Structure 1
Amino acid sequence: MTASPAPHRPRPSVVYFDRRELDLLLNLYGIFVAAGEWKDYAIDGLSDRAEFAVFRRTSEAPLYRVVKQPKLRGKQGLYSVVSIGGQILKRGGDLRQVLSVFDRQKLKLV
Structure 2
Amino acid sequence: MSIVIPLAVTSGTRPNSGQVAFTRLELDRIMSLYGRMVAAGLWRDYALELGAKVASFSAFRRSAENPEVRLVKDPALRQRQGEWVLYGEGGVVLKRGHELAGVLAVVERRLLKAVES
TM-score band w.r.t. shorter chain: 0.7 to 0.9
Give % identity: 43
Structure 2: runs of 5 or more not aligned: 6-15
For residues 55 and 105 of structure 1, what CA distance do their matches in structure 2 show? 15
Matched, 1:21 2:26: yes
| Aligned positions, number | 99
Equivalent residue in structure 1 for 2:91, among 80, 86, 89:
86
Runs of 4+ with >2 A deviation: 104-108
Tell me the equivalent position of 2:13: none
CA deviations 1:44-67 (Å, max 9, x no partner) are 101110000000001111111000
- CA distance in 2: counterparts of 1:15 and 1:71, whole angstroms: 10
Q: 1:45 aligns with which of 47, 50, 63?
A: 50
Aligned counterpart in structure 1 of residue 74 of structure 2, from 63, 69, 73: 69
CA distance in 2, matches of 1:88, 1:107: 21
Query: TM-score if structure 2 supplies the norm length?
Result: 0.78
Query: 2:104 corresponds to which residue?
Result: 99
Deviation by residue 1:26-82 (Cα, 9 ceiling, x = unmatched): 000011100000000011101110000000001111111000000000001010100
The structure with the greater share of residues assigned to helix is: 2
Cα distance 1:55–1:105, how it changes in 2: closer, same or farther (>3 A)? closer
- Structure 1's unaligned 5+ residue stretches are 6-10
